[in-house]
Structure 1
Amino acid sequence: MVTKIASWGNSLGLRIPKSFAKEAGIREGSAVDISFEEGRLVIRPIRAPRYELKDLLARIRKNNLHEEIPTGDPVGREAW
């Protein structure tokens, strides 16, 4: 596919077709890594790691367990 680079403020912008964005799993606001490799501009989506609560809880040890943090008196109907 051929496309054109456009001016965007003091920078240049590249419009990514919807079908390409969908296939790459990106949307407006997605973080991407841009690099220059062997004479080519390469754009790669950055995938944030997905965490499972059970895995995070399994990593809690005595040396990384913090004390309860005081947040003041309950306000409204938030009392538990």
Structure 2
Amino acid sequence: MKDVILDIKQWGNNLGVRLPAAIAREAHVHVDQRVKLTASNGQIIITPVRDEPLT
């Protein structure tokens, strides 16, 4: 697991964080992939949403 310290920036009326390429690779996430955000106990958790295989 990699740890990095990032700054939260203003992005329009929202807040944003840029994911470093190394973190994105390790988490197997890519551009335009959907993620689930969860706020719990003062933490923000980002979980990749995997596409369901077609049957």
Q: TM-score range by the shorter chain?
A: 0.7 to 0.9
2:12 alignment counterpart: 9
Q: Which amino acid aligns with 1:15?
A: R
2:30 alignment counterpart: 27
Q: Which amino acid aligns with 1:5?
A: I
| Root mean square deviation of aligned Cα | 1.0
1:48 alignment counterpart: 51
Q: Following superposition, which runs of at least 4 residues in structure 1 exceed 4 angstroms of deviation? A: none
Identity, % of aligned positions: 31
2: CA distance, partners of 1:49 / 1:19: 25
Q: Which amino acid aligns with 1:25?
A: H
Q: Give unpaired runs (5+ residues) of structure 1.
A: 57-80
Larger radius of gyration: 1
Q: Give unpaired runs (5+ residues) of structure 2.
A: none
